[in-house]
């Protein structure tokens, strides 16, 4: 299988692109590519391109872009994951696995029971870090479109400014009487809310209901936040997406 590499910016057939920094070190020192080796590159906008290593220096690698082609790895089901922010590696794990499972957008939110608090500058740095994790997950999984990752914001503010209504608006709630699998099939768009380690507060469940969200369950057991995200996305893709 050809090495896949995310490259930001425009990609044009016949162009030569210089890669430096982490990208160059990854190719030269981790993958140990050689001049003439083939790879596949993508910029997160839907297509991918054949490419060839032209030269390798200590801190830079030159690649030549070839023909573009469509990979067909994006799901027809557009899933927007609104995720209560959890600590460190748990949130990174959610971003990685959600990307692999085809999510289109991730909105990290601060919640009443959440323990992670970030100032605006740190929140933007964290968003950038999560976007890099998503790019790496796209490289591994074969995706050609990067999911959009929003800058973290309080859940209450998100409810006030949330995007236009989608086909199904769902919130995971332990003890809910409606199984996720029993929801009528949406046309193309689903938004699902998942709480952090401490779950959502009663007030947040009430706000969600007022905003049009329906409470659903994943069964009789209470899952960790990262487990709930993966399970819910897998069920959604299995029911209505490209895992059917």
Q: Whole-angstrom Cα distance, residue 223 to residue 227?
A: 6
pLDDT one-digit tens code per residue, 121-135: 788 899 999 999 999
Q: Whole-angstrom Cα distance, residue 1 to residue 69?
A: 16
All CATH 3.40.1280.10 domain ranges of the chain, comma separated, are 78-240
CA distances from 97 to 47, 135, 146 (A): 21, 12, 13
pLDDT confidence tier of residue 1, bands split at 50, 70 and 90: low
All CATH 2.40.240.20 domain ranges of the chain, comma separated, are 3-70
pLDDT one-digit tens code per residue, 8-32: 888 999 999 998 888 888 888 888 8
Fold of 3-70: Ribosomal Protein L25; Chain P (2.40.240)
Fold of 78-240: Alpha/beta knot (3.40.1280)
User: How many other β-carbons are positioned within 10 Å of the β-carbon of residue 117?
Assistant: 10
**Torsion on CA atoms 154, 159, 164, 168, rounded to nearest 10:** 110
DSSP conformation class of 140: H
| Helix residue ranges per DSSP H, 30-119 | 88-100
Q: Whole-angstrom Cα distance, residue 230 to residue 226?
A: 6
pTM of the entire predicted model: 0.91
DSSP conformation class of 221: S
């Amino acid at each position: 299988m050809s090495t896949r590499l995310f490259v930001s910016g425009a990609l044009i057939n016949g162009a030569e692109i210089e890669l430096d920094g982490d990208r160059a070190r990854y190719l030269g020192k981790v993958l140990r590519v050689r001049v003439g080796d083939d790879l596949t590159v993508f910029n997160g906008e839907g297509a991918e391109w054949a490419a060839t290593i032209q030269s390798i220096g200590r801190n830079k690698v030159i690649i030549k872009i070839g023909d573009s082609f469509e990979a067909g790895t994006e799901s027809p089901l557009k899933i927007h994951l609104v995720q209560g922010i959890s600590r460190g590696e748990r949130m990174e794990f959610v971003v990685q696995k959600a990307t692999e499972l085809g999510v289109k957008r991730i909105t990290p939110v601060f919640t009443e029971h959440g323990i992670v608090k970030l100032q605006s500058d740190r929140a933007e740095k964290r968003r950038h870090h999560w976007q890099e994790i998503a790019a790496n997950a796209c490289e591994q999984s074969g995706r050609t479109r990067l999911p959009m990752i929003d800058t973290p914001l309080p859940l209450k503010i998100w409810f006030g400014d949330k995007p236009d209504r989608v086909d199904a608006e769902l919130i995971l709630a332990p003890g809910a009487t409606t199984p996720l699998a029993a929801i009528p099939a949406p046309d193309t768009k689903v938004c699902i809310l998942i709480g952090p380690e401490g779950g959502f507060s009663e007030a947040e469940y009430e706000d969600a209901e007022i905003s049009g969200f329906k409470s659903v369950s994943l069964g009789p057991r209470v899952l960790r936040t990262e487990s709930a995200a993966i399970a819910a996305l897998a069920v959604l893709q299995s029911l209505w997406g490209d895992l059917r």
